[in-house]
Structure 1
Amino acid sequence: MKKIIIGDNIVKSFGEGDEKHNALDGVSIQIDEGEFVSVMGPSGSGKSTLMFALSGMDGLDGGRVAFDGRDLTALKENEYADIRRTSMGFIFQQPTFLKNLNILDNIMLPSMRDNRKNVAEITERARALMKRVGIAELEQRDITQVSGGQLQRAGICRALMSYPQIIFGDEPTGALNSKSAEEIMDILSEINSEGTSVMLVTHDAKIAARTERIMFMRDGKIVSELLLQKFSGTDIDDRMKRVAARMREIGV
C-alpha cells in the first residue's frame, strides 16, 4: 500500500528554559493512501499538534515528514504552502468564513486566488459539491443564516475544492449535535470510499469508532493503536465496545 504521509521521529517543543516541554516527543507515524484514521487522547496529549506537524501548518523541532514521496522538511515555505493548498484539505471545529461573503463565495474564495481566469469552472465545482453535501439551496445565504451543521458542510466543500489527496479534520464534529455529527461522518466516509485519505483528531469515541485505525496519544507519544475494518454502517456498537476497552486498557 502506498504511503501518503510518513512522519519519522517528530519532535515539537513549546516554551523556553525550565518551561520547555515536548508536545510531540519522537512520534513516528504512517498513513496509507485511502486510509481513514483518527487520533484520540486527553487534552494536551499532542493530537492536534501532530496534525499541524504532518500538514505543515506548524514547523518541527526535530524529525521529518514526507508527503506523497516528497520530504516536506526540505522544502521552502512557499513550496510547502503550495502543497497544502493543492493537495490537502482542512476542516476545523469552527469553520472560518468571511462575514461579508455568502456561502458560495466563501467556498470558492481560496480557489479564486489561484485561478482567477476560471471563475465559471470554480463556480461549477463549488455548486456540485454543495449539491453533493445537501446545501445547494444555501449558496446565497450569509454565514449567520445557516446552522452549525450546514456551515460545517460548507467547510467540507471548501476543503474538497482542489481535489485533495488527504483531508485533515481537527474536531470537525465537536461543535455539532449528534445527528449533525453523524451526517458529517457519513459525508467523510463517502469521500474516503472514493480514495481520499482522511485523518481526524477527535475526543469522541463514537466518531473515532467510525474510522479504520485509531491512534491513542498521551504526553506527546502514540501509546497504542486499534485496527478496525472499514465502517459498514451496522456494527457501531461492537466498534464502540472495542474502543472503550482499549481506552480502559491504556488509561486514556
Structure 2
Amino acid sequence: MEMKKMITGINITKHYGSGDDKRNVLGGVSIEIKEGEFVSVMGPSGSGKSTLMFALSGMERIDGGRVTFDGRDLGTLAENELADLRRTGMGFVFQQPTLMKNLNILDNIILPSMRDNRRNAAGITEKARQLMQKVGIAELAQRDITQASGGQLQRAGICRALMSSPGIIFADEPTGALNQAAAQGIMNLLSEINAEGTAVMLVTHDATIAARTERIMFMCDGRIVSEMRLPKYSGKDIEGRVEKITAKMREIGI
C-alpha cells in the first residue's frame, strides 16, 4: 500500500543576514517524507542539513517556497499555531537533550505535556513511566539529570518526544555526543519507534548512523544533490551498508 505523504517541501529557500553579509543556506530544496519513513540527511558542516530540518518542522520560517505538514501549509500558521502543531504532531531529539536541572528525569519528561493537560496528571505520569520502562530507564525516574549518563539522558529526551504520540520524530545529530555503544543503543530505539509506525528524520554526519535508515539524502551547498535507498536494516551487514553510503559520497564529492 502506498504510504501517505506527511511532509512536502517545495522549492524551499532560506538565508541568514542581509546585504554583504547575506548567506543563502537553502537554495530551492524540494523534498517529501511519507508516513512511517526512516530518513537521514547527510552532508558536510554548513551544507544546510539542520536548517532543512528546522524548516520542515516550522522551527524556522522560510524565505521562499512552501512546506506542508499533513496538508497544512506551515507558512499560513501563526506562531502559536505552529507551536501547537509541533507539540502535538512532532517530536524532537537533539544532540544535547534540553533538560531542566531543577527537575528530576520523570518531571522533565512530563513537563511539556502537563502544560497542555494538567487535569490528566495521573495519566500523563503513567504514560511517561511506561515509556521509561520501554526505553530501559524506569529506575531513573526520581534522579536528577546530573545522576545519569549521556545515553540515559538521550533516552529521556526520546521519551519526552514520544509523549504526544507524534507522527514524526526529528532527530538532529542524536548520537553526536555519545560513545559508540550508547549511540547504537539510541539507534536501536529509534528503529523500534519507526517499526511501530512513527516516521523518523535524522540529521547526521556519521555513515554508520545513516546506514540504519532506509533513505539517505545528501546535501551540499544548500541543496539535495543525491539520494539513495537501502532495504530495511535487518541487524546484519552494517559494513556493507556503510560502504554503499561512503561510495556514494565519494561519487558526488562530499
Identify whether the pair has TM-score above 0.5, normalized to the shorter chain.
Answer: yes
Moved over 6 A (4+): none
Cα shift readout 1:11-65 (whole Å, capped 9, x = no counterpart): 0101110221210000000001000000000010000000000001110100110
- Per the alignment, residue 89 of structure 1 pairs with 91
Q: Does structure 1 residue 207 correspond to structure 2 residue 209? A: yes
- Per the alignment, residue 129 of structure 2 pairs with 127
Task: Note the 1:69-88 alignment, pairs <5 A.
Answer: 69-88=71-90
- Measure, in 1, the Cα distance between the counterparts of 2:150 and 2:82: 31
Match for residue 118 of structure 1 among 117, 120, 125: 120
Larger deviation: 87-96 or 68-77? 68-77
- Per the alignment, residue 107 of structure 1 pairs with 109
What is the CA-CA distance between 1:240 and the residue it aligns to? Answer: 0.7
Task: Note the 1:1-252 alignment, pairs <5 A.
Answer: 1-252=3-254
- Measure, in 2, the Cα distance between the counterparts of 1:235 and 1:164: 31
Aligned residue type for 2:41: V
- Measure, in 1, the Cα distance between the counterparts of 2:86 and 2:33: 16
Residue 195 of structure 1 aligns to a residue whose secondary structure is coil
What is the CA-CA distance between 1:235 and the residue it aligns to? Answer: 2.2
- Measure, in 1, the Cα distance between the counterparts of 2:36 and 2:103: 33
Residue 240 of structure 1 aligns to a residue whose secondary structure is helix
Name structure 2 gaps, 5 residues minimum: none
What is the CA-CA distance between 1:177 and the residue it aligns to? Answer: 0.3
Aligned length: 252
- Measure, in 1, the Cα distance between the counterparts of 2:126 and 2:242: 39
- Measure, in 2, the Cα distance between the counterparts of 1:229 and 1:10: 28
Aligned residue type for 1:49: T
- Measure, in 1, the Cα distance between the counterparts of 2:58 and 2:180: 31
Aligned residue type for 1:205: A
TM-score by length of 2: 0.98
- Measure, in 2, the Cα distance between the counterparts of 1:170 and 1:29: 17
Residue 113 of structure 1 aligns to a residue whose secondary structure is helix
Cα shift readout 1:180-236 (whole Å, capped 9, x = no counterpart): 000000000000001100000001110001100000000000001011111111121
Aligned residue type for 1:68: D
What is the CA-CA distance between 1:97 and the residue it aligns to? Answer: 0.7
Aligned residue type for 2:116: D
Name structure 1 gaps, 5 residues minimum: none
What is the CA-CA distance between 1:71 and the residue it aligns to? Answer: 1.2
Aligned residue type for 1:94: Q
- Measure, in 2, the Cα distance between the counterparts of 1:179 and 1:196: 24
TM-score by length of 1: 0.99
- Measure, in 2, the Cα distance between the counterparts of 1:123 and 1:14: 41
CA RMSD of aligned residues (A): 0.6
Residue 55 of structure 2 aligns to a residue whose secondary structure is helix
